[in-house]
Amino acid sequence: AQSVTQPDIHITVSEGASLELRCNYSYGATPYLFWYVQSPGQGLQLLLKYFSGDTLVQGIKGFEAEFKRSQSSFNLRKPSVHWSDAAEYFCAVGGSGNTGKLIFGQGTTLQVKP
């Protein structure tokens, strides 16, 4: 069965520091992978997606993620964090078939220190 693990429940970084949020997935075939961000009281916003091709994908708000098949990982990175990046981040994998069903990790809460 497909699954997503986000090992870090809570991360705190200083403003201006670099960020890496970890995501590991379990899926038999080439996965479709996503990162979403959720701010308090808001719905989920798609940051970036990987379907195929270049394993380094660029997203909105200066985020990028790298797909590493050998490590079953899809880690999210940002070189310099802004206070407005404080939110909850979810990694997701597309389920089998073409249902569009997304399987989410439990999320990582990012806190940004001034």
Partner 1 sequence: DTGVSQDPRHKITKRGQNVTFRCDPISEHNRLYWYRQTLGQGPEFLTYFQNEAQLEKSRLLSDRFSAERPKGSFSTLEIQRTEQGDSAMYLCASSHSDRSSYEQYFGPGTRLTVT
Nearer to partner 1, 15 or 24 (CB): 24
Q: Is 49 left (phi over 0), alpha (psi -120 to 50) or beta?
A: beta
Residue from 75, 85, 88, 89 nearest 112 by CA = 85
Cα–Cα distance list, 4 to 16, 19, 30, 112 (Å): 28, 20, 14, 24
Determine the Cα–Cα distance for residues 110 and 91; give it in Å rounded to an integer.
13
Based on CB atoms, which residue is closest to partner 1, 15 or 73? 73
Site for partner 1, rule CB under 8 A: 4, 32, 34, 36, 41-46, 49, 51, 90, 92, 94-95, 98-107
Give the nearest distance from C-beta 51 to partner 1 in angstroms. Answer: 7
Amino acid at 31: P
Would you say 18 or 45 has its CB closer to partner 1? 45
Q: Least separation, in Å, of the C-beta of 75 and partner 1?
A: 17
DSSP line for 61-83:
GG-EEEEEGGGTEEEEEESS--G
Among residues 5 and 15, whose Cβ is nearest to partner 1?
Answer: 5
CB of 38 to partner 1, least distance (A): 9
Q: Min. distance of Cβ 33 from partner 1 in angstroms?
A: 9
